[in-house]
Amino acid sequence: MACAFSGSSQCLRQTNLVTASLRATRPSPYAYTPQFHSSSTAAVGKASDLVITPRTRPGHPQLSCCTRCPSAISRSRTQSFSSSFPRRSKTYQTVEQAKARNKLGPFSWPAGILFLLAGVGMTFYFRSEKERMQRKRIAEMTKGIGKPKVGGEFELVDQDGRRFTSEDMTGKYALIYFGFTHCPDICPEELDKMAGMIDRVKQRAGNVLRPIVISCDPARDTPAVMKKYLDEFHPDMIGLTGTWDQIKATCKAYRVYFSTPPDVKPGQDYLVDHSIYFYLMDPDGDFVEAIGRQFSADEAAKLICDHVGDWKGKLDKN
């Protein structure tokens, strides 16, 4: 029993001794910190000596930090130059290089050029995308329920006397103009412009456009008169005419105003008032956009080609 007592007291004393000796070799944990920085080898040596201590005193922040990974400390010492990019192990040959690097910071010529190029590219992309969305909105304004309907079914006769209906119009884009052959000045000008549009669109987008001229003056514009008249403008043009009622119905569908009286005598001289828009219809036969007189042939052709480029469905190019 006494042995047990003495033994236990001895044990106690021994532990005290151990702690005392530990304190002797390591007067204060803070005393090590300057040593670590003054010499990395010394720090590594000391730290490895003290590997056991975190187990006995795990709560001490200073020690656990130092002993966690002594090799990391020595590594971080050598890398203190490139503090902003810790992962980069670039070393500089000369002081000038380092100075130049510091002067520009993280920026360099390639980075600047890349930045500018990306900016210019994004600007162009967003602009074209915005224009495309606007065209899409215009094109889709007339599709769907509750939208104004321009165009529709018609049944007329072409310049060779063949039947031509709205069904024959689909498959390609159609450019429709309403006019009459005895038109003093505006129609011939517009038809010359239409010929320019046909050639330009054909050149840029292929054979995707069906140009149609519908007469608002059925009494005088027979198929033969239309044929003779349109031959002077463009061979691709399809000239449509019909009875007064057929023309009236077609003009109504296209919201075209026309003033031809229903009962004119042969050879009578008169003029017809009518709307002077080009109607662009998509391959489904739906109205896309009205092209007014303010457009030049070039501008109108560009507009048509842009719409053609937007078209996702089937398109007859033959």
Partner 1 sequence: MGWLPFSGGSSNQGPRPSSDGAFEAPGRDQRAHCWEARDEYFRCLDRHDIIDSIQDGKKAAATCSKETLAFEQNCATSWVKYFKQRRVADAKKAATLRQLEAEGAGQIPAAEMERNKRASVA
Question: Cα 245 vs. chain centroid, distance in angstroms?
Answer: 48
CB of 138 to partner 1, least distance (A): 6
Residue numbering of the annotated binding site: 183, 187, 274
Backbone angles phi, psi at 211, to 5 degrees: -80, 125
Output the smallest distance, CB 192 to partner 1, in A: 9
Q: What is the pairing mode between strands 173-179 and 209-215?
A: parallel
Tell me whether residue 118 or residue 186 sits nearer to partner 1 (CB atom). Answer: 186
User: What is the sign, positive or negative, of the torsion defined by CA atoms of 198, 200, 201, 207?
Assistant: positive
User: In this complex, which beta carbon is closest to partner 1, that of residue 22 or of residue 138?
Assistant: 138
Query: Interface with partner 1 by CB under 8 A: which residues?
Result: 130, 133-134, 137-138, 141, 181-182, 184-185, 188, 220-225, 228-229, 232, 266-271, 294-295, 299
Residue closer to partner 1 (CB basis): 48 or 134: 134
Least distance from partner 1 to the Cβ atom of residue 202, Å: 22
CA 28 to chain centre: 65
DSSP string covering 90-156:
---SSHHHHHHHHHHTT--HHHHHHHHHHHHHHHHHHHHHHHHHHHHHHHHTTSSTTS-------EE
Helix, strand or coil, per DSSP, at residue 18: helix
Q: Which is nearer to partner 1, 140 or 167 (CB)?
A: 140
Q: Smallest distance from the beta carbon of 297 to partner 1, in angstroms?
A: 14
